[in-house]
Structure 1
Amino acid sequence: MLDAAPPVTPKPESERPHLGNRLMRRKPVEQLVAEGGQGEGGALKRSLTMWQLTMISIGATLGTGIFVVLGEATPLAGPAVAISFVIAGLTALFSALSYAELAGSIPVSGSSYSYSYATMGEVIAWICGWCLVLEYGVSVAAVAVGWGEYLNELLDGTIGVTIPEAVSAPLGEGGFINLPALVVILLAMVFLMGGAKESARVNTIMVVIKIATLVLFCAIGFMGIKAGNYAPLAPLGVTGISAAAATLFFSYIGFDAASTAGEEAKNPKKDLPRAIMLSLLIVTVLYCLVALVAVGAMPWQDFEGTEAALAQIMKDVTGHSFWGVVLAAGAVVAIASVVFAVLYGQTRILFAMSRDGLVPKVFARVNERTGTPKANVVIVSLFCGVLAAFIPLGELANATSIGTLFAFALVNVAVVILRYKRPEMPRTFRVALFPVTPIFGFAFCAYMMFSLPGKTWVYFGGWMVAGLVIYFFYGLRRSSLATAEK
């Protein structure tokens, strides 16, 4: 019989790395890729095709932006709001190109968190991951609240009833619980527990429905276009177009969702870059078409204070409220798919962080039969559900914008670092005009961040402080790299 292995003796304190070195320790790309798919007790299943990955990104992006934000941006830009959509799309493109290169080089579930871990060190990776928790987790709750509002509009238009405020608004906003928001998150949870392939099918169906709804709007709205509504094209000048573009940029947040599926894609190195770029192209074309038809069918001044502008246009052009109800139904599906896709992304980011030891191991536990992190899905869904049902989100929801932009900025930095440090690494996609493109991507993100109000920065700062406290008291010592150093 073999003798038992001798116990590992911890290194003396004098031989352990200093705090600065521990904060900046990096996880090699090869190690990140080798660990891909492996969780506690099982492995994620590679089952997603390029089109399913594209649908995940479209599902996370195409939603409240076009149904709600168009009404806020049009009074700023006038008929030139379509140009604002193009500018916002080009701004997102700079970061999307960096995401595409890194997703093809480091095809793992952690998205920008993992890219930061490989290039900038553990503490930066933690900050990025914590930003993603804010981006994905809080935005799931915020979008779920918006879903409840559209559901009420649909019910009112079809059967003439609305859900009482007592069960459709959280404490402090006139109610006791936002039941619709809780329900849509729990429904998404049930579908996500079935497996990545099954979840992708459900998401694809919802994405097809919302694209069809917007195409239907364009077809009907086209009949109501009046050439005079396009003149003057830019009544508020270049300043108005730029202001609208800054507002509309957040309609593109979500294109990075495909990068969270790196460990469940069949051919991640080729398919992830394609899915990211294709989803951004499809979303931009749809946004511009809808904007052109909308401002042609309704004078731009009438968008002021109109949340359901598209439904109003459908009703005005046809003379029947039925088409407005159809659009509301499409919006309910559209926003539900955002909840679904974003919730998926959140669970996969926490899966990667858990495998690295920075958050509890329960988030990396994989169900052997379904190949999904079931416990992770349940915990995240219940947390987001409670947040949406009982807590008035207010400025915290706005702080997701900074969290997203911060993660985007880090990805642009990461692609530059990896190009210079690992130029020989095989890349299935390369950023064009390097390093100008990622520099522009970083600059645009920084500009957008500093354009946000001071109160939003205060909430974001509080979130960051809380995150760093958790890291120093938990993640720093339990990190898998820290374990290897002992």
Structure 2
Amino acid sequence: MEDQELKRGLNLPMAIFVIIGIVIGSSIWISPAAYLNETGPSVFIAYIIAVIPAVFIAFICAYLGSAVPIAGGTYVLNSRMSGKFVGFITAWMVILAVGAALAFLASAFGLFLSEIFLIPDELVLLFVIIMGILVLVGFYGLNLLNIEISGIVEIIITIIGDILVMLIFIFAAIPYIDATNFDPLFPPELGITPLLMASLTFFFSYVGFNAVLEIAGEVKNPKRTIPISLLISIPILMILYTIQALVVAGIQPWNEEVETVTEIIINKGIFPFGAVIFITILIAIAIASTIHPTFLAYSRDILMASRDEILPKNLAKVSKKNKTPSNSLSLLLIVGIIFLIIFIPILGPMVGIGTAGVLLSAITAVATLILQIPICISAIILPKRFPELHEESGFKPPTRLLKVMGIGGALISFIFVLLLFTDTDAGLLIALIVFPYLFIGIIVYFFRNRSLKKRGINIKATLQKFPEEVRVEKKMPGKVKRLSKEIDHKK
């Protein structure tokens, strides 16, 4: 079993950048510009409002990640707190969510590159698919390396691809800010309702905090590191989002319609032509950078579900050399490529490649929100069912507060699932893909359950306790630690 263990190699900075890398997506280069015409110059306030419901989810993840620091935390918690059926559906939905997310990110990356290299219209679709497959395979290979290398790479690509490009735009655009664009801040003809509706949409820009639960088994000193990493990443994300939206509102009159921040950059001549290409390349890197932590985080759910044999056991293979879940990563790569080569060619000619990708991201959003509901409930159940884990948690809020945050987080997630159906195209795609996929999953679950019973495997008994990895060793002085190892070796 020792060869199958993952390695705790992620320190605090790495954990922070994994969170930031997976949360920041392409929406920050679209949403502020797209909603400016609807909300007026107060669009930046929507990001401040949107962080409020996100705090509920982050709070729950900080508590659970500290109390149960194990890889694949979403699956492990849902299966132990809500039973084997919910555990199976969690793993089943993770496969769907990640497949759609990888296809969306890969297609967006390819689309940005096609604009940079001026690919002819008739070749764009083929170019997008080829570049999408290449970037997926590239990040898949990176994730096969040991966790320390993955963590260092995540720091580099998040700084360059996400944070640096935003800071370059912000500082370059400041001289172009026109104070009159903020007058009035709340145009009377628009009212306050569009601002509130925009904040609901912007909430999706903060989705992804639960990724910290997936990597908790590979975080050093997780009981302390996980809560601190969330505490630091939330304000960083809010500040970056808010300032970028503020700058967009300052340089672009709200009553002149635009679709993307890149369009504003070109129209305002903020950068010379060569620099615009450079910035566009950085934005493409920013989009691609989310692929890496997506592989990194959610492959751990597949790993843990297969260890419990809720999924086939061969998916539990961990590389002896690098201590990474090679078969789980391979499964996600295959599903991501399938989504890319099937859905983008079908939807692309109908609605455009960019819109096709966005529709796929709606599948990821609804699957993620559905999985957040039992996670929030787990925070309420854990202190009663496993009081010793609650007591050992590095972040131990009062149980009454946990109930409030758990119920609040579950309700918020459910409400946002319903809101996704208000978008006709996204709602239709969700109905055509997510619901049939769930139905197939239920059938697979019953066949899998029957097969395991025939083989005498009692999954229910396995799920009565947490894996041993949850018990994190307390730090011992060097000599004591060496002596302990020598004694164990002699035994």
Give the TM-score of the pair, scaled to structure 1: 0.83
Contact residue 80 and residue 234 of structure 1 kept, 8 A: yes
Q: How does 1:458-473 map to 2 (within 5 A)?
A: 458=431, 459-473=433-447
Deviation of 1:163 after TM superposition, in Å, equals 6.3
Q: Within 2, Cα distance between the matches of 1:111 and 1:303?
A: 43
Q: Which residue of 2 aligns with 1:407?
A: 371
Aligned residues: 434
Instruction: Provide, for residues 251-306 of structure 1, a one-character-per-residue CA deviation record: whole Å limited to 9, x for no partner.
Output: 112222222112211212221222233222211110001000111011123344x2
Runs of at least 5 residues in structure 1 that lack an aligned partner in the other structure = 1-37, 156-160, 170-174
Runs of at least 5 residues in structure 2 that lack an aligned partner in the other structure = 348-355, 422-426, 463-491
Deviation of 1:474 after TM superposition, in Å, equals 1.5
Q: Within 1, Cα distance between the matches of 2:105 and 2:450?
A: 33
Instruction: Provide, for residues 312-362 of structure 1, a one-character-per-residue CA deviation record: whole Å limited to 9, x for no partner.
Output: 336615362233223211111111110111122221111111111111122
Change (3 A) 1:255 1:484: closer
User: Aligned to 1:365, which of 317, 320, 323?
Assistant: 317
Q: Which residue of 2 aligns with 1:4?
A: none
User: Aligned to 2:396, which of 415, 425, 430?
Assistant: 430
Contact residue 109 and residue 262 of structure 1 kept, 8 A: yes
Q: Within 1, Cα distance between the matches of 2:244 and 2:128?
A: 34
1:398 alignment partner, SS class:
helix
Q: Which residue of 2 aligns with 1:48?
A: 10
Q: Within 1, Cα distance between the matches of 2:459 and 2:413?
A: 32
Contact residue 217 and residue 310 of structure 1 kept, 8 A: no
Contact residue 95 and residue 411 of structure 1 kept, 8 A: no
Q: How does 1:29-178 map to 2 (within 5 A)?
A: 41-155=3-117, 161-162=118-119, 165-166=122-123, 168-169=124-125, 175=126, 178=129
Instruction: Provide, for residues 381-436 of structure 1, a one-character-per-residue CA deviation record: whole Å limited to 9, x for no partner.
Output: 13312321343365554222211111122221110112344445322113573322
Q: Within 1, Cα distance between the matches of 2:107 and 2:214?
A: 24
Change (3 A) 1:475 1:47: farther
Q: Within 2, Cα distance between the matches of 1:111 and 1:118?
A: 10
1:274 alignment partner, SS class:
helix
Report the AA paired with residue 344 of structure 1: L
Q: Within 2, Cα distance between the matches of 1:267 and 1:163?
A: 51
Deviation of 1:366 after TM superposition, in Å, equals 0.9
Change (3 A) 1:348 1:301: farther
User: Aligned to 1:238, which of 178, 185, 192?
Assistant: 192
Matched, 1:192 2:169: no
Change (3 A) 1:355 1:152: same
Matched, 1:350 2:318: no
Structure (1 or 2) with the greater helix fraction: 2
Report the AA paired with residue 104 of structure 1: S
- RMSD (Å) for aligned C-alpha atoms: 2.3
Instruction: Provide, for residues 103-152 of structure 1, a one-character-per-residue CA deviation record: whole Å limited to 9, x for no partner.
Output: 11111112222111221111122223323222222111111111111112
Instruction: Provide, for residues 181-221 of structure 1, a one-character-per-residue CA deviation record: whole Å limited to 9, x for no partner.
Output: 11110110111111111111111110010201101111011
Contact residue 84 and residue 244 of structure 1 kept, 8 A: yes
Contact residue 114 and residue 128 of structure 2 kept, 8 A: no
Q: Which residue of 1 aligns with 2:420?
A: 452
Contact residue 415 and residue 438 of structure 1 kept, 8 A: yes
Q: Within 1, Cα distance between the matches of 2:405 and 2:276?
A: 42
Deviation of 1:176 after TM superposition, in Å, equals 9.0
**Identity value in percent:** 26
Give the TM-score of the pair, scaled to structure 2: 0.82
Q: Within 1, Cα distance between the matches of 2:210 and 2:267?
A: 35
Report the AA paired with residue 257 of structure 1: A
Q: Which residue of 1 aligns with 2:485?
A: none
